[in-house]
Every structure is written in C-alpha cells, then in structure tokens.
Structure 1
Amino acid sequence: DDADTWEFSDDELGDVSRKLLTLYRDKIHAEREKMHHERQIGMNVSHELNTPVGIIKGYLDTVLADDNMPDALKRKFLVRAQQNTDRLANLVSDVSMVMRLQEGGAIDYGIINFRDMTAQIAEDIAQGHIADNMTFICDIPEDCLIKGHESLLTNALFNLIYNAAQYSGGTRISLLWKGENDGMHRFEFADNGCGVDDEHLDRLFDLFYRVDTGRARKNGGAGLGLPLVHRIITAMGGDITVENAPGGGLRFTFTLPAA
C-alpha cells in the first residue's frame, strides 16, 4: 500500500545513519567506562585486602620463626595480628555490603523510632569510647518514626560518627532533626572540625576515595565509610549531600522516609 510506504531522501537516510552511529558509539563508550570502573574497584578491593593480610602474615611469621621470643613481645605481636584480623573482617563486610546495595539487593524495611535508635547509639558511643575527644549532641523529636532497615541505618550513622571522630579534628558532633516535608524527614549531621577543601567534596562518596591518603592509611581508613553511608541512605529512598559548614567542619544533610 503506497500510503504505508516510508520514503526517505538521501539526506534523511544520512541523518538517521549518523544518529544510529552516535548511539552505537555512546553505548560502546558507556560499556567501556563500566568495565573500567569495575576493574578499578576490583583492583582497589584487592589492594585494601592485601594490606591487613600482609601485616598479619608478617607478625605471625616473626612469632613462629623465633622460639625464644619474650612472652611480652610475642603477646604484643599477636595482639597486633588480631587487630588487623578484625580490620580485615570489617573490610570484607563493608565491601560485601557496598556491592550488595550497589546491585540493588533487597532490603527488609520496618518502622523505626529514630529517637530511640539514636539514643542507643549515643550510649554505645560513650561505652565504646568511639569519640571520647568529642561531645555528641543529639536532638530528635519523640514521634520521629521512619521507614527503613535499623541495622543498616545504625551502620551508616556510626560511619558518620567514626569519620568525624577520626578525621575532623573537632570537639563536637551533632545530629539534628530539621523537619518533615512531602513524607520525608530531614536530618543534619555535622562536626565543628576543619572540613575539607572544596575540590574533595564531590568525591567524598566515591568508593576508596581518601582526602588524605597517608593519614587515612595510618588510621586504618579504606575509603569505604562515606560511600557506604551514601548507598544505605539512597537504598532506603532518601538522599544525602555534604558541604563545608560556614563555621567550620563538614555538614551532611540527609532525608529518610517517614513511617
């Protein structure tokens, strides 16, 4: 049927061909970028795992090679090996969680009383001496109920606290409720430390990114804490941003769905 026949001029055919070629090139480029990203993650994971493994092996090899090593020195080496074993276990757990969240793994949601949860976190901080050099200020209303996964969310908040305690150089941490809008609670987590240079802000949630590589390695940081926070918050339907606060320190603003 002539009415159903599609006819194209040479110019139109050329334009279609160019568009198809552009789409194909874009697809190839995206695939290559994805492969490069995944390869880089794999290399970083391998490197981070090898560091504590090498330390553990060094201490154990030294202990086993010296039958006459004094008990005090032997215990010191075994304690260091145990500490790095814990670090390795935590690293494996964090990598596994990041990958699961990145791949859209299923999350079981429940209703969480955010005030009760953060009160428990405050008690754990004190008992565990996690931020002894800082005052933790928490202001959450009694009726603040959110929909989420309590264990993952606790993990995210502890990572924010640990990051501030280890790297901010500040004396105060605060977690504040800033209101509810369109079914989302908004919170602000901040410290009064030194903050970071603006050039680093956009990369703080990138896997394995360190603002100060040397200092992070010395303190055991692997560049996984803040990326994990970002993935947990977004997996629960919220969002999170970070900025340098006007008075100093980092300020994270995040949202979570109201129950």
Structure 2
Amino acid sequence: MLSGDAPLPVDDRGVAYGDGLFETVLVRDGRPCLWDYHMARLQAGCRRLGIPMPERDVLDRLPAQAGVGLLVLKLILTRGSGGRGYLPPEAPEPHLRWQCLPFTANERNWREGVRIRHCVLRLAIQPALAGLKHLNRLENVLARREWSDPGTAEGLLCDQGGRMVEATCMNVFWRRRGVLETPGLDRCGVAGTLRQALLERLAITEVEADPRILGEAEALWLGNSVQGVWPVIRLDDTEGHPLVEWQLTDIHREFQNVAQPLLGYPALPLTGTS
C-alpha cells in the first residue's frame, strides 16, 4: 500500500479512471474534525466500489502527523493497479496517499455572506455513485469554469431532471415556511460530512426541489466540512443577473452557530433581526 509522498504508478486506476475515493479533513493541532463521519463515508464508498478499506488504526494515526495549527488533510484511496482495461483486478491492492496543507478559513464569508449563481451544467443521474466522494469530479471542474468573477463565491448545480443537488464544492440548505430543507442525494451529489452531522442535530427535511422555490426561502446557506457555513445574500442566474437577495438575520446566525462549533470555528453574533 503506497502512502505519504510516494508517487503513484502510471497504471494506477485512480489516475487512469478516477477509480477511487478521497476525503478532505479539517485538522486542528493534530485533532481531526468530524473524523468519524469522514471514516464512515470512506467505508461506505469502499463497500460500494469494492475497494478494501485501509486498517482504521492506520488512518487514525494520520491526523497527528499534520502538525500544529489549522490544516487540511487530504486522503486519496485508489483501487491500485492491475486489471484489464476497465475490468478491475479480482484482488485489488489499494494505494493510499495523503497530504497536509496549512489552511485559513474565509471568515469574511461567514460574517458578511456570499453571492452565488446558478450553473448551466447539469449533473448526471447515477444512483450507484450518489453520495460518494469519488475521484471522478469532472462535472464539478466544468461547472467551476463557468465563472471567473471573484465576487461570486459558488455555483448551484441541478441534475438532468432540473432538481437542485449541491454547489460545486458545498452542500445546500435553506429555510422555507419555517422549515429547514436540503436536497436529497439519492441520484447524484456528494453527501458531505458536515451535512450529515447537521442532519443528526437539526430537523432538516431532505426534499426534491426545483431551484425556483428559493424565491420563497427566508434564508439560504452553503456549507462543507472545511469552510464551515456561508450564508447566501444574493443568488444570480447563469448570466450573473440577480434573482433573489436576502438580508442577514438571526435565522442565518442560528443555523451557522450549530455548524461552526463542529469544526472548532467561533459562533457568530446575532443580528437582532429575524
């Protein structure tokens, strides 16, 4: 099993076919945030793809190697080499690699909120891969190429049926008619670890939703396990024209303040409005 900085061979199936999984973990002074959620998702992905899961004690030792401070640990697990074309080997020997890099959260986005837009690209519907953080992320790459304006923080993605799924690298949440909602991810999309933790702590309903319902939302947020939760203050169409705008209120802060401590981030002060 390859690890650390060892180079992957040219015939590695992750390099050739995206045949593998990855996790991106926020680490504070050697202590990983939402670690059990990351390990559960990795194990679920290994089970579904038929890739042997590395020994848990091997994985558990990695965050401590990240060092002091706030860092991001990226784990990459591929099926390894071998097989014949797309046909995988009967007894795969996985390759595991990792990298630790310093990280600084975008606190301004927490405080002031972000502007986002709709993407033209539509995600393919593939239930066999839905929820997994697999290595084939070309759809996200193409979607992210749709804008270069630094004032646009993210792009919303729908599936081929026009249903909301996620942003290019974050999950989506909103409150409508007093109810917290998030897109169901049984057809496509990545089931984020912060999303899972919030589903267990708050009454969030998984729904099939046309993006037009966001015009009825009292609040909209994006979140992931590295950046935390960003409130959305403006949603644009695919050409950058504004569709919906929101003023930051206590509704935004209360949701953020459930999520932020899960990552060791500070709570945000209430605005005094609701």
Question: TM-score range with shorter-chain normalisation?
Answer: under 0.3
Q: Give the TM-score normalised by the residue count of structure 1.
A: 0.27
Q: Greater CA radius of gyration, 1 or 2? A: 1
TM-score by length of 2: 0.26
Which structure has greater helix proportion?
Answer: 1
Structure (1 or 2) with the greater strand fraction: 2
